[in-house]
Every structure is written in C-alpha cells, then in structure tokens.
Amino acid sequence: MKVLVTGVAGFIGSHLCRRLLDLGIEVHGLDNLSRGFAERVKDLEDAGMVLYRADVRNWAIVHEILHRVKPDGIMHLAALISVEESIRMPGLYMEVNAEGTRNLVRAASRAGVRKFIYASSAAVYGNPVKLPITEDHPTSPLSPYGLSKLTGERYVASEFIGEEKPVILRIFNVYGPGQNPEYAGVITRFIERLSRGEPPIIFGDGCQTRDFIHVDDVVEAFIRSLDVSIDEVLVANIGSGRPVKIIELARMMIRLYGLDLEPVHAPPRPGDIRDSYADISRARRILGWSPRIGLEEGLQRIIHGEDL
C-alpha cells in the first residue's frame, strides 16, 4: 500500500508516519515545513519516507504531486492549529485549513485515490449542550480555527470521489512526546513548569473537564481507518471517553514529578469551554478501535523519558 500523509513535520503527522513506515507501508509526505520540526522530517526521510515540500494552498502543485505519486490513501493532517492565532488571523486559517483541504480533496478525486482520511477536531462542537459529546451533537465552533476545520469536513464529505467513502476523525485533547509548546495544550504547559520545579497554573477553579488521548492511540485510529470499508461518510470521535478535571490532572502530574507544590489559580480565560468529553462508541463499533494508554501511564512515559 502507498499512503500520502500531509503535515508530516507536525506532532501527530510525524508519529503517524513513523508507525506507517514500521508497518512496511510506502509513505510519501507533504509539508511546506513552515512550522513543526525539520529534524523529525529528516529522520523520517532517513527511514524511507519520500518528502514533497509543498503548500496545500497551491492547487497546481498539489495536483501534480498526487498524479505523480498516485497513492492508495491520503491522511490529511496539514493545518494551522492555534485557536488564539486563528482569532487574530481568521483569513489565513480559512485559506490553509479549509481551502487547502478542498484543493487536496479535488486533486485526490482526480488522481483516483481510494481512501481519504481527514484529521478534524473536537473544536467543531463549540460549547457542549449534552455530555458525552456524540458525533450527532450540534456543531457550533467558537473560534475561526474550529470553523475552518468544520468547513474542511464539509469539503471532504461532499466533494471527495473515490472507491471508498472518506473518514473524518474528530480528535479531542491529544498529548504525547514532541508537542510544540507554543501550540500545545494544558499537559505540555504543565510539564514545562513542573520540569522547572514551578507550580502549574490553572485558569479558573480547575473543575472544568477535558478528554485527553495519547498520540499513539490517535495514530492507531488512523491505521484502523485505512482498512475499514464503509458505505457512507464516517465521522468518528477520537478521545478517551473519560472526563478529567484540570485540578485532578495538575495534582496527578505534581505527584508523578515527586514535588511538594500546589497549583496556582489564575482568572478564567474568556471563551474557554467548561466541560468536554467524547462518546467514542462509534469508533469502537465501526473502526474496532479503543484507547489503550491510560492518562497516568501516558504521563509517566513522558515524564520519565520512556516516550522520548
């Protein structure tokens, strides 16, 4: 099998490419290398990945690459991912995340790509009206980032033409080794402070909940999506299915670091969602997927260097 992965310099994309290569799959990577980690890309090239340095916004180049490679499947992870930056630059986020996705979908359809797998985000839901969040929950994104990912979903669902229907994975709060601290979530920010012996900072009372999923489990969901045969577009939540209070997360990490600290509380941030966790029954049922790495185990592997 031959697979093209976009966003290979990014956090999830680089982990995914490594796993695909380990499985003996022929991997072609597409990334403009404007962000992410160039050293990871070099390691992947050394392991056998073929890199195409290109921007998904450039229709002509994307079209040319896909007709040259003719992959069996595409895993589309290239995206801008900062909620805060998207508020400052909403146009850029729509160009890259929405229109870039449309370019790739159209080129994939013309190149005869069999399977298209799209990395979406729980940000498409906005403030939950019911928990846990199912895939049928209303979508009402709170940021241009969330809107751009939702628009990308719609392009994938309505415009991809291939042998098989596309898969859309709505990923919740992913964590693991190698996240960019500039764009990472609460776990990476806590690690940064605790590794210096400083208390983690919690915005608000800490009783807000999130659903944390290890990057290795996210990668496995993409692998399962390659093999699944479906009659209609599949949208599936990828999370742990378990809510974790931020105050409990902070105390767990303090304990794992062996420190005698108390978290510091700061004022709540405007626009932050109060509670969020996924119903993952659809991914279990259709993909045969379920998370294998519990939160404490995943944190231990990062903190004690087992995941580096």
| pLDDT tens per residue, range 96-114 | 999 999 999 999 999 999 9
d(CA 75, CA 61): 18
Check: CB of residue 211 under 8 Å from CB of residue 172. Answer: yes
Which CATH number is associated with domain 2-174+214-239+278-291? Answer: 3.40.50.720
Q: State residue 184's pLDDT score.
A: 66
Q: State residue 119's pLDDT score.
A: 99
- Phi and psi of 242, rounded to 5°? -130, 125
Question: How sure is the predictor about 37, in pLDDT bands with cuts at 50, 70 and 90?
Answer: confident
pTM, whole model, 2 decimals?
A: 0.96
Residue 62 predicted with pLDDT over 80: yes
Choose which CATH entry (3.40.1190.20, 2.40.30.30, 3.40.50.2300, 3.90.25.10) describes domain 176-209+242-276+297-303.
3.90.25.10
Residue 224 predicted with pLDDT over 50: yes
State pLDDT tens for residues 137-151.
Answer: 999 999 999 999 999
Q: State residue 10's pLDDT score.
A: 95
Mean pLDDT of 37-55: 96
Q: State residue 304's pLDDT score.
A: 84
Residue 306 predicted with pLDDT over 60: no
Residue 271 predicted with pLDDT over 80: no
> In the chain, where are the structural domains located?
2-174+214-239+278-291, 176-209+242-276+297-303
Question: How sure is the predictor about 307, in pLDDT bands with cuts at 50, 70 and 90?
Answer: low
Classify 206 in phi/psi space as left (phi over 0), alpha (psi -120 to 50) or beta: left
Cα→Cα distances 181→11, 43, 88, Å? 11, 21, 19
Question: How sure is the predictor about 126, in pLDDT bands with cuts at 50, 70 and 90?
Answer: very high
Question: How sure is the predictor about 305, in pLDDT bands with cuts at 50, 70 and 90?
Answer: confident
Q: State residue 245's pLDDT score.
A: 98
Query: Can you list the positions of beta strands (E) in the chain?
Result: 2-6, 26-31, 50-53, 73-76, 115-121, 167-171, 173-175, 201-203, 209-210, 212-214, 234-238, 244-245, 264-266
Whether 145 is catalytic: yes
State pLDDT tens for residues 150-205.
Answer: 999 999 999 999 999 999 999 999 999 988 776 668 999 999 999 999 999 999 99
Distance in angstroms between the alpha carbons of the first and the last residue of the chain: 28
Residue 93 predicted with pLDDT over 70: yes
Q: Is the dihedral of CA 77, 104, 238, 81 positive or negative?
A: positive
Write down the mean pLDDT value for the chain: 95
- Angle (CA) 106-282-71 rounded to 5° is 30
**Among 52, 93, 118, 145, which one carries the catalytic annotation?**
145
